[in-house]
């Protein structure tokens, strides 16, 4: 597997061109012992078979579009559905299985790009997309940019699965999200209404909570998603970098802070991992073995005029920025 490595004294990140994927993230624990905190697969063939989006740049539209349908400027578009009731992450075999062109990497940064032709998976307009990964000390920066020759919709994110212990369950990880609202979902995990307050629910993660603390409470929203798989509305103005999440793994002492300029972050607890995915070390990935933090626009935005717009028009530039900072507790 042809891996490009980005390195600093405290962080190593591996990237491949298939799906513009992050395949490894190595960082030390509080004792100085290095470990891989991102779920990864054995080789590129395994990534080509992957249906869980490990480390991928997902698009054209991250998350779900209800029924795989939307209307833009009076024209109806259909995106092939790849799960019941929805087109997920741009439909089947989308950006996560494209071979991206890679610029010559530097020691700490690499840029990948691709041309998504008009009509790819039903989306209008030819989209020129770039994603840049950069390591700066303890930080990993992820930047997406896109331009189009016709009106379209765009929502890009990275789908790395994290386990700051380097293996085992993540239920003892402590997570906090700077969000006083989240988006409730229906049986197809499509937003069922406007944002609602997290107060008084298992979705109140404004102070640190064990990921596993309330997973089994039987809350209707947790039952619908089989865990957390919801968009949290990040406090503060979209377009400005602000802290969205902070995670601590108590045993290793590793920490992860996410800052983003996106309006939401999808917090996902690996609910669809069912033991069929074999990881790089030969272990089987199961529910609760990882979590994802996916900065992005709101799901189903093309069908929801009350949500922030995801429409991109010729002459405009789509941009998203996220910074992941790794560290340790004392």
Q: What is the pLDDT of residue 54?
A: 98
- Per run of 10 residues, the mean pLDDT along the chain (length 330 residues) is 96 98 98 98 96 98 98 98 97 97 93 98 98 98 98 98 97 98 98 97 98 94 97 92 98 98 98 95 95 98 98 98 96
Task: Give CA–CA dist 232/218, Å, rounded.
Answer: 19
Task: Give CA–CA dist 156/61, Å, rounded.
Answer: 6
Q: What is the pLDDT of residue 105?
A: 87
Q: What is the pLDDT of residue 96?
A: 98
Backbone angles phi, psi at 44, to 5 degrees: -70, -30
Q: What is the pLDDT of residue 330?
A: 78
- 3-state class of 133 per DSSP? strand
Give the up-direction half-sphere exposure of residue 85: CA atoms within 13 A in the CB hemisphere: 8
Residue 80 C-alpha from the chain's centroid: 21
- 3-state class of 48 per DSSP? helix
Query: Is 325 within 8 Å of 259 (Cβ atoms)?
Result: yes
CATH number at residue 177: 2.70.98.10
Backbone angles phi, psi at 114, to 5 degrees: -155, 160
Q: Residue 41's closest CA among 16, 63, 9, 66?
A: 16
- Entry pTM: 0.97
Q: Residue 191's closest CA among 86, 82, 57?
A: 86
Which residues are annotated as catalytic? 159, 294
Rg from Cα positions in the chain: 19
| Containing structural domain, residue 289 | 4-328
Domain count for the chain: 1
Q: What is the pLDDT of residue 237?
A: 87
Q: Residue 64's closest CA among 193, 233, 189?
A: 189
Q: What is the pLDDT of residue 238?
A: 83
């Amino acid at each position: 597997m042809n891996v490009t490595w980005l390195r600093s004294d405290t962080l190593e990140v591996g990237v491949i061109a298939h799906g513009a994927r992050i395949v490894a993230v190595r960082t030390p624990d509080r004792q100085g012992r290095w470990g891989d905190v991102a779920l990864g697969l054995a080789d590129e063939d395994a990534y080509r078979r992957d249906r869980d989006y490990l480390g991928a740049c997902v698009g054209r539209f991250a998350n779900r579009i209800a029924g795989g349908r939307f209307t833009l400027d009076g024209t109806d578009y259909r995106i092939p559905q790849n799960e019941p009731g929805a087109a997920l992450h741009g439909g089947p075999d989308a950006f996560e299985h494209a071979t991206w062109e890679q610029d010559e990497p530097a020691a700490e940064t690499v840029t990948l790009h691709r041309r998504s032709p008009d009509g790819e998976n039903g989306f209008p307009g030819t989209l020129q997309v770039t994603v840049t990964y950069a390591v700066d000390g303890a930080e990993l920066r992820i930047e997406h940019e896109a331009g189009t020759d016709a009106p379209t919709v765009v929502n890009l994110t990275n789908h790395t699965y994290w386990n700051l212990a380097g293996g085992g369950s993540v239920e003892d990880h402590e997570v906090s999200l700077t969000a006083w609202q989240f988006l409730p979902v229906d049986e197809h995990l499509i937003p069922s209404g406007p944002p609602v307050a997290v107060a008084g629910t298992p979705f109140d993660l404004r102070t640190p909570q064990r990921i596993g603390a309330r997973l089994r409470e039987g809350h209707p929203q947790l039952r619908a998603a089989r865990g957390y798989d919801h968009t949290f509305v990040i406090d503060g103005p979209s377009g400005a970098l602000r802290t969205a999440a902070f995670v601590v793994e108590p045993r290793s002492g590793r920490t992860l802070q996410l800052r983003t300029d996106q309006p939401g972050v999808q917090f996902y607890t690996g609910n669809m991992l069912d033991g069929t995915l074999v990881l790089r070390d030969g272990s089987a990935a199961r529910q609760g073995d990882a979590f994802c933090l996916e900065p992005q626009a709101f799901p189903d935005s093309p069908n929801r005029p009350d949500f922030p717009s995801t429409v991109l028009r010729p002459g405009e530039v789509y941009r998203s920025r996220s910074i992941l900072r790794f560290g340790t507790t004392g």
